[in-house]
Amino acid sequence: MIPVLLLKNKGLVKSIKFKDHRYIGDPINAVKIFNDLKADELVFLDILASKEGRMISLDFVSKVGEEANMPFAVGGGISTIDDIQRIIAAGAEKVIINTQALNLNFIRQAADTFGSSTIVVCIDVKNKLFGTNQTWTLAGGKASGYTPFDFARLMQDNGVGELIVQSIEKDGMMEGYDIPLVKSVSEAVTIPVIALGGAGHLSHMKQAYTEAYANGLAAGSMFVYHGPRKGILINYPEKEEIIKLLAE
């Protein structure tokens, strides 16, 4: 179970359908809390990096690397082999690529250089006209022309080791994952698939695990909000609770 934390102007934010960003707090403080809560893994995504033509801050990655007791992955504006080299050297275990995933030569070279397990692609999905699911880049601003199924197969064929499948329309709603979407991608590939977008309760995660065959269960709102009024309270379930839930 993986908390996904969004960065905007050096602060943590939470979005709804990739919009309406709400400030949550200091990211390094969040890392300290997730250390205490014994989270499995963390993901940090700089949501402005690609739009602003830059990479996620190496200084920030280094600070997380110094503080985090668990593996973590980062994404945001990663576009060169040198970018990946510096991020891994700063302490991240994996890099997450979205906008530059359309550059297949880069993806293949990255997988060959650092190993497939280091390269994760985030597939952001929303409907285009006539209800057709499309993969989008640039924080949901540009359609790629690929369906999630085709894009997932393309990424696997070019060496990507893991996929995050995110529904833009479910983002921040806390009403459950897009199960048909996650299932379609899980059935399209043999590499691990992480569900993201819409989780609000552990039962939603169980559904993605049992019905959509997700290998990993990621969420944002669920790990930073508490109660119907969405009070900010960083949280993470006990290991025993997770084991019991998924074993039922």
Structure confidence by residue, pLDDT tens digits, 10-34: 899 999 999 999 999 999 999 999 9
Catalytic residue among 46, 124, 171, 178: 124
Residue 171: active-site member: no
CB contact at 8 A, 182 and 206: no
- The reported pLDDT for the residue numbered 130 is 67
The confidence band for 171, taking pLDDT boundaries of 50, 70 and 90, is very high
For the chain, the domains span 2-247
Kindly report the number of other CB atoms within 10 A of residue 29's CB atom: 12
User: Does 127 or 114 have the greater pLDDT score?
Assistant: 114
3-class SS of residue 7: strand
Give the burial class of 131: count Cβ atoms within 10 A of its Cβ; 0-12 exposed, 13-18 middle, 19 or more buried. exposed
Under CATH, what is the fold of the domain 2-247?
A: TIM Barrel (3.20.20)
